[in-house]
Amino acid sequence: MTVERYIRIFAGTFILLSLALGVRESPIFVSEWFLLLTAFVGANLLQFGFTNFCPLGLILKKAGVPESKLSCGS
C-alpha cells in the first residue's frame, strides 16, 4: 500500500469513529466534542488537497511506506 492510500484509510477511520462517538443517537455515544475531530480531519484533508502537505504523509514516508508512482492521468 502507498502513502496516499494509508492517508485515505486513516482519515476515513477517524471520521467514522468520531461520528460514532459524537452523534447522540449512536449506541457508542460519548460526547459531542468528538465532532471536533471530524471537523479537524476534514479541514486537514481540504488543506492537503490544496497544498499537497500532510503531516501523516511525512510520518509514513519516514516509516518507509512507498509513494504512489501512478497518477490519474497515466
Three-class SS string for 24-44? CCCCCCCCHHHHHHHHHHHHH
Cell of residue 8, nine digits: 485515505
Q: What are the boundaries of each domain within the chain? A: 3-62
Question: Residue 73: is its pLDDT beyond 50?
Answer: no
pLDDT per position as a tens digit, 1-51: 999 999 999 999 999 999 999 999 999 999 999 999 999 999 999 999 999
**Rounded Cα–Cα distance for residues 43 and 6 (Å):** 17
pTM of this structure: 0.83
CB 26 within 8 Å of CB 20: yes
The pLDDT confidence band at residue 70, using thresholds 50, 70 and 90, is low
